[in-house]
Chain A
Amino acid sequence: MDRRAFLASTTAVMAATATHVPKGKAEACIFMWLGGGAAQMDTFDPKLVGDGKKKPGSYYKAIPTAIRNEQVCKHLHRSAPLMDRAAIVRSITHDISNEHAAAANLVHTGRKPSGTILYPAIGSIVANQLGARTEEVPAYVVMGYPSIIRDPGFLGAKYGNVYLTQVETGPNGLVRPPDVDLNREDRRETLLGQLREGYLKRNAADQTVQQQDAITRSAYKMAGPKFLNVFDLQRENAALRESYGGEFGQRCLLARRLAQSGVRFVEVSHNLNFLNGSGWDTHNEGQLKQHLLIEELDKAFSTLVTDLEKNKMLDTTLVVVATEFGRPPEFDAGGGRGHQSDGFSMVLAGGGLKTGQVIGRTDELAKKVVERPVTIADFHATIHCALGIDPHKNLYAGERPVPITDRGQPIAELFS
């Protein structure tokens, strides 16, 4: 049986048995994005150690985790004892390994682009399905750069994200310019109030004018102190801030605060590429300091999980660690690694899932999936289920029904 047939048969069996759709209780999702393609054998799927040159394999030694008989890379030593709060999915598979943008788009939208409609990012789908938990906050926040892969597609601008590129800047549009203090803010709104009043009076019967005005007024509430205080990390205790680590960790702390405030989907990008000169795209010498990225991830992930737990939010917050593809066990001429999309790892933590298990398996070098392949569509279906969204429902692009995932099946083992 070749791979295609194998996949087809698994899908068919699962389709036949998928009578019961599990429904999770998670209320928010924090989506950690390791852009560039994190090497599975150097993180969550460690194998025999290679030599960094001819002999393929992991680059680091492995250590035991809280999941029996399962290991992770030694640079994940803070997370290892917490892995019972997580599920490692080691058998993610897709077929785009040549192009970062295309693979990142696939992992965000769950589909390859079709050209007839623009598929929404998962954050937009969640925003569309669940909305924010409270009125004064947006449903979908991105910490990273905005681009088409994080866009709402056919769902429309309403389900787009609010983004920030660095924690200290706050979200574009929601933060008052630094030179506008409360006094100026007051003055502005008073003046605007006078102008608006005259304009509304002159156009009293015009519904479009009235609607525009109403939306503007509600928008200004969103930029109010309540939501903006969420961005003030100084309100957290110094030791906690410290333990989250560098910029990436601070973003994760902010993500927790955002989830707490009612935001449904927070994407946190780990794009601190200068740490090793390549980010997670560890070709050539990018490999040499890859451990700095892993350690940063380790600090942030482990602190986030414990922090959520302390705040009694872990069961209702799904933490996802995702990346566009993995990397092969062999080393390139420069001692780094190429790309590999068939067989790599992602992690799901908290969210009320049955954690403490490993889903799927790769071969002895993490080069191929040998057990329970999980497609990107399946992965999306799992996230939807965890959030209580029916993974088999249709969205609509005008009249055209579009299944919410590309016929994905949730990973049943993660639901009780």
Chain B
Amino acid sequence: MEASRELAAKWRARHEEARAFYRDRPVAVPAATTGMAAANNVDHFLNARLHTEGAKQQPRAADLEFLRRLSLDTVGLIPTSGEVRAFLAAPAATRRQQAIERLLAQPEWADNWVAYWQDVLAENPGILKPDLNNTGPFRYWIHQSLTDGVPFDRFVAELIQMEGSPHQGAPAAFAQATLNDAPMAAKADVLGQAFLGVKLNCARCHDAPFHPYKQKDLFSMAAMLQGKDMKLPVTSTVPLVEGARRPAVQISLKAGEPIAPGWAFESLVQHEQSGALPVEGKVESRRSLASLFVSPRNERFAQVVVNRVWKRYMGVGFVEPADDWARSKPSHPELLQYLAREFVLSGYDLKHLARLLFSSHAYQRRPIELLADTQMPSKNRLFAGPLRRKMSAEQLVDSLHRAVGKRFECEELNLNPAGDRAPAQFLNMGKPARAWQLTALSNERDRPALALPIAQALVDMMTAYGWRQSRQSAATTRDDASSPMQALILANGVLGTRIVRLSDDGAFTELALKDQPVERLVNESFLRVLSRPATAEETRAMTALLNPVYASRKVAGAGSSYAALKSDNRVSWSNHLSAEATLIRMEEERRMRMGAEPTKRLTKEFRERFEDSLWAMLNSPEFVLMP
């Protein structure tokens, strides 16, 4: 405790130095642009550019559209109907700002960021025997750091130290890359993309053909992580076949060549400038590397983080690709500098950045109406409004549960409940309660008794929406382009069916039993699912459907009964090939497919009509597309 307080004090001192450095480097904020709305300095930068280009701002989004968007961007969930009502009850002039503060203070803020960093940092735990580039589970460490509001430079510095237990969620888990003969080269690539916008993956096997990076640049950073010279593995070279055509890529290193620890990115920051960091890592060159990454003089670091946050909330970055800065110039260099300075002055606080963005007029506008396209040239990126975005896979799955008020159910992610194997071979990832806690289900062996049917239903939905079961390498943008499977899995899939069913574990069953006019039921349903009241037409249509069976909907004397989904933990690695194990899992799969047991407290006639209404709301493009 004493030690951790001391460490925090040292970080505070370090942040004072950083502030001192940035205080002397003010960024001039443009004057207000006549005729354009502005809520804070962010807008002044954007408006000046919009004005020069003769472009218009998008109109301001409606209050409830703003709330739904903000809620997804902060806590990764659609708002509850209670939150919608409280928001509308607050004074119109201040309700948006109040919502920003309230949501930023919720613990789910951490949940909503974990998934992002899992992708960017290639967090890739495997529950069954190591596969290529499996890491340990450092998701919990990410979650804790975000919950505690650890300053972001400290988060990165600790990640780079890679200390602690590899199996229990410490940054040491990041150090792992199973079956990889140069794990530190993989990590150097991940770190470079994540925090410096330096994409070194092509340099793994040869000099990068589209970038100014040599293979040595990557391996000398890898050697810093390794803490000693590295030898270039033969697998990280291009095989030369005698008589075949020469490869088109440049090759400057030979297999087996030793590479010393070194820093190849002097243009970003020089070694002697970086200063010592208050980290306690055992490997000296890792401490040096961390101080190079997060040095206040390394302006790239703060800018890369700012650009990532901006891209996440506005749909496209100032710099694209956000993980590869060698390819293009920022669309708004001054604003980027301004925000980076704000970030450092705040003590590397992600929430401060988020607050600045959410409070801007730009964020609060209607989305622009072009096809969401991160490829658009930077000169066309004016931020007249945010890009139209879709919920992420995790946001979708979590929001489906919230919409219908059902608990997130899943088996324990563990293929060896007997617990008789080493954790390096079988990892127990526990029972997920949020979507980011899922893992690849690792049934490459294609064995029925190794299936986890409840988790599979969640994974099927998430995979269709761009979630990666295996994160062998880093990714900043997901492939979540609209596809037929997205629509189908939501409409007919096992999870979708479960969500829509009026069972005794769902809040809609209770709502339907409440004594209230049918119009109120319809309106409350819209608030819960689409975060807005029903329109007159919608009320008419649904009332007409429900009314004939509404008065008689309750079944007298019927009680509530819900059997939570269960997984038989007698099935374990040692017996999974037996007929019994197979039959157990196939039965669980069948039950899962049947969906939740319908409530007996509502008549079938009413229940089915109401389920169909909910189905329509959840499957409308309005549900999955963010306002």
Q: Give chain A's interface residues, CB within 8 Å of chain B.
A: 8, 11-12, 15-16, 33, 35-36, 99-102, 104-105, 113, 115-118, 138, 144-149, 151, 156-158, 160, 162, 165-166, 169, 172-179, 184, 187-188, 191-192, 194-196, 198-200, 203, 205-209, 211-213, 215-216, 218-220, 222-223, 269, 271, 273-274, 277-279, 281, 286, 399-400, 407
B182 nearest CB neighbor, chain A only: A115
Taking CB atoms and an 8 Å cut-off, the chain B residues in 604-626 that contact chain A are 608-609, 612-613, 615-617, 619-622, 624-625
Q: Known: A274-B582, A400-B202. Is A213-B621 also a contact (CB below 8 A)?
A: yes
Instruction: Compute how far the CA of A206 lies from the CA of B440 in the bound complex, rounded to whole angstroms.
Output: 35
Q: Is B447 an interface residue (CB 8 A)?
A: yes
Give 5 closest A-B pairs by Cβ, nearest first: A219-B484, A274-B579, A191-B616, A101-B444, A219-B487
Instruction: Compute how far the CA of A99 lies from the CA of B132 in the bound complex, rounded to whole angstroms.
Output: 12
Q: Are B388 and A115 in contact (CB under 8 A)?
A: no
Q: Are B538 and A194 in contact (CB under 8 A)?
A: yes
Instruction: Compute how far the CA of A399 lies from the CA of B375 in the bound complex, rounded to whole angstroms.
Output: 14
Stretch of B47-55, B76-84, B491-499 that contacts chain A: B491-499
Q: Are A157 and B479 in contact (CB under 8 A)?
A: yes
Q: Are B589 and A165 in contact (CB under 8 A)?
A: yes
Q: Are A195 and B538 in contact (CB under 8 A)?
A: yes
Query: B551 CB to closest chain A CB, in angstroms?
Result: 20
Q: Is B20 an interface residue (CB 8 A)?
A: no
Stretch of B167-175, B239-247, B402-410, B511-519 that contacts chain A: B239-247
Q: Are B545 and A113 in contact (CB under 8 A)?
A: no
Q: Known: A211-B482, A273-B447, A273-B449. Is A219-B488 also a contact (CB below 8 A)?
A: yes
Partner of A274, one of B370, B492, B577: B577
Q: Is B542 an interface residue (CB 8 A)?
A: yes
Q: Are B241 and A12 in contact (CB under 8 A)?
A: yes
Instruction: Compute how far the CA of A151 lies from the CA of B490 in the bound complex, rounded to whole angstroms.
Output: 20
Partner of B440, one of A8, A148, A169: A148
Chain A to chain B contacts (Cβ below 8 Å), 13 pairs: A12-B241, A15-B244, A113-B131, A116-B204, A145-B451, A147-B469, A157-B463, A177-B492, A205-B369, A208-B371, A215-B486, A219-B487, A273-B447
Output the residue of B441, B470, B472, B492 with the most chain A CB within 10 A: B492
Q: Is B227 an interface residue (CB 8 A)?
A: no
Instruction: Compute how far the CA of A201 lies from the CA of B625 in the bound complex, rounded to whole angstroms.
Output: 15
Q: Are A174 and B473 in contact (CB under 8 A)?
A: no
Partner of B595, one of A177, A205, A277: A177
Q: Is B229 an interface residue (CB 8 A)?
A: no
Query: A304 CB to closest chain B CB, in angstroms?
Result: 20
Q: Is B105 an interface residue (CB 8 A)?
A: no
Q: Is B231 an interface residue (CB 8 A)?
A: no
Taking CB atoms and an 8 Å cut-off, the chain B residues in 432-478 that contact chain A are 440-451, 456, 460, 463-464, 466, 469-470, 472-473
Q: Is B555 an interface residue (CB 8 A)?
A: no
A165 nearest CB neighbor, chain B only: B589
Q: Is B268 an interface residue (CB 8 A)?
A: no
Q: Are B615 and A188 in contact (CB under 8 A)?
A: yes
Contacts of A8 in B (CB 8 A): 241
Taking CB atoms and an 8 Å cut-off, the chain B residues in 68-123 that contact chain A are none
A174 nearest CB neighbor, chain B only: B488
Q: Is B180 an interface residue (CB 8 A)?
A: yes
A208 nearest CB neighbor, chain B only: B388
Partner of B177, one of A100, A115, A165: A115
B128 nearest CB neighbor, chain A only: A101
Instruction: Compute how far the CA of A211 lies from the CA of B484 in the bound complex, rounded to whole angstroms.
Output: 12
Instruction: Beyond A208-B625, A219-B484, list 8 extra A-B contacts (CB 8 Å).
Output: A15-B241, A99-B129, A147-B469, A157-B480, A166-B586, A177-B492, A195-B616, A216-B487
Q: Are B485 and A199 in contact (CB under 8 A)?
A: no
Partner of B441, one of A147, A213, A216, A281: A147
Q: Give chain B's interface residues, CB within 8 Å of chain A.
A: 128-129, 131-133, 177, 179-180, 186, 201-202, 204-205, 210, 241-244, 367, 369-372, 387-388, 390, 440-451, 456, 460, 463-464, 466, 469-470, 472-473, 479-489, 491-494, 497, 535, 537-538, 541-542, 545, 577-579, 582-583, 586, 589, 593-595, 608-609, 612-613, 615-617, 619-622, 624-625
Instruction: Compute how far the CA of A407 lies from the CA of B487 in the bound complex, rounded to whole angstroms.
Output: 38
Instruction: Compute how far the CA of A205 lies from the CA of B489 in the bound complex, rounded to whole angstroms.
Output: 27
Query: A320 CB to closest chain B CB, in angstroms?
Result: 16
A13 nearest CB neighbor, chain B only: B243
Contacts of B390 in A (CB 8 A): 212
Contacts of A200 in B (CB 8 A): 621
Partner of A173, one of B449, B492, B582: B492
Query: B615 CB to closest chain A CB, in angstroms?
Result: 5
Query: A103 CB to closest chain B CB, in angstroms?
Result: 10
Q: Known: A194-B537, A220-B487. Is A101-B241 also a contact (CB below 8 A)?
A: no
Query: B422 CB to closest chain A CB, in angstroms?
Result: 16
Q: Are A399 and B210 in contact (CB under 8 A)?
A: yes
Query: A179 CB to closest chain B CB, in angstroms?
Result: 8
Contacts of A222 in B (CB 8 A): 484, 488
Q: Are B369 and A207 in contact (CB under 8 A)?
A: yes
Q: Are A116 and B473 in contact (CB under 8 A)?
A: yes
B479 nearest CB neighbor, chain A only: A156
